[in-house]
Chains A and B, each alone.
Chain A
Amino acid sequence: MDITLVEESPFRFRIERRGAMRVPGTVFATRALLPEAAGDQALEQVANVATLPGVVRASFAMPDVHWGYGFPIGGVAATDVEAGGVVSPGGVGFDISCGVRLLAAGIDRDALEPRLRELMDVLGDTIPRGTGPGGLWRLPGRPQMEEVLAGGAGYAVEQGHGVPRDLTFCEDYGALEEADPSQVGARAVERGLRQVGSLGSGNHFLEVQAVDRVHDEKAAAAFGLRPGGVCVMIHCGSRGLGHQVCTDHVRVMDRSLRRFGISLPDRQLACAPVVSPEGRAYLGAMAAAANYGRANRQLLTEAVRRAFTSAAGVEVDLVYDVSHNMAKTETHEVDGVPRRLCVHRKGATRALPPGHPDLPGELSGAGQPVLIPGTMGTASYVLVGEPGNDAFLSTCHGAGRVWSRHQALRRVRGEELRGRLESEGVAVRPSSWRGLAEETPEAYKDVDAVAAATEGAGLAHLVARLVPLGVVKG
Chain B
Amino acid sequence: MARDGSAARHGGPRGGHRSVPHTADLRVEAWAPTREECLAHAVRGVCESFVDLSGAVGRRRRDVEVRAETDEDLLVALLDEVVYRLDADGEVPVDAEPAAVPGGVRAVLHMADVGTLAETGAAPKAVTLHGLSFGRGGHGWECSVTLDV
A, B in one complex? yes
A26 within 8 A of B: no
Residues of B within 8 A of A70 (CB): 128-130
State how many angstroms separate the Cβ of B145 from the closest Cβ of chain A. 11
Residues of B within 8 A of A239 (CB): 87
The answer to whether B19 and A406 have CB atoms under 8 Å apart is yes
C-alpha gap A195/B25 in the complex (Å): 22
The answer to whether A435 and B21 have CB atoms under 8 Å apart is no
Instruction: State whether A432 and B120 are in contact (beta carbons under 8 Å apart), knowing that A244-B84, A268-B129 are contacts in the complex.
Output: yes
The answer to whether B21 and A404 have CB atoms under 8 Å apart is yes
Contact of B121 among A240, A246, A438 (CB under 8 A): A438
C-alpha gap A247/B125 in the complex (Å): 10
Residues of A within 8 A of B22 (CB): 67, 404
A221 within 8 A of B: no
Chain A residues numbered 168-198 whose CB sits less than 8 Å from any CB in chain B: 187, 190-191, 195
C-alpha gap A401/B2 in the complex (Å): 18
C-alpha gap A202/B49 in the complex (Å): 12
The answer to whether B20 and A131 have CB atoms under 8 Å apart is no
Residue with the highest number of chain A CB atoms closer than 10 Å, among B22, B87, B114, B149: B87
Interface size for A (C-beta < 8 A) is 49
B126 within 8 A of A: yes
Chain B residues numbered 1-59 whose CB sits less than 8 Å from any CB in chain A: 2, 19-26, 50
Chain B residues numbered 77-92 whose CB sits less than 8 Å from any CB in chain A: 80, 83-84, 86-90
Contact of A250 among B114, B129, B146 (CB under 8 A): B129
User: Which range contains the number of B residues in contact with the other chain?
Assistant: 35 or more
Residues of A within 8 A of B107 (CB): none
Residues of A within 8 A of B143 (CB): none
The answer to whether A434 and B21 have CB atoms under 8 Å apart is no
Contact of A268 among B2, B88, B125, B130 (CB under 8 A): B130
Which residue from chain B places its CB closest to the CB of A247 in the assembled complex? B126
Instruction: State whether A247 and B80 are in contact (beta carbons under 8 Å apart), knowing that A132-B90, A431-B119 are contacts in the complex.
Output: yes
In the A-B complex, list the 10 residue pairs whose CB atoms are closest, starting with the nearest: A69-B130, A404-B21, A267-B129, A240-B87, A131-B123, A132-B90, A268-B130, A243-B126, A202-B122, A406-B2
Interface residues of B (CB under 8 A from A): 2, 19-26, 50, 80, 83-84, 86-90, 114-115, 119-123, 125-132, 146, 148-149
Interface residues of A (CB under 8 A from B): 37, 39-40, 66-70, 73, 93-95, 130-133, 187, 190-191, 195, 200-202, 239-240, 243-244, 246-247, 250, 254, 266-268, 270, 401-407, 409-410, 431-432, 434-435, 438
CB pairs A–B below 8 angstroms (27 shown): A66-B24, A67-B22, A67-B24, A69-B128, A73-B24, A94-B126, A95-B125, A131-B50, A131-B87, A132-B89, A132-B115, A133-B90, A187-B84, A187-B88, A190-B88, A195-B87, A202-B122, A243-B83, A243-B125, A244-B84, A244-B87, A244-B126, A247-B127, A267-B132, A404-B22, A405-B21, A405-B26
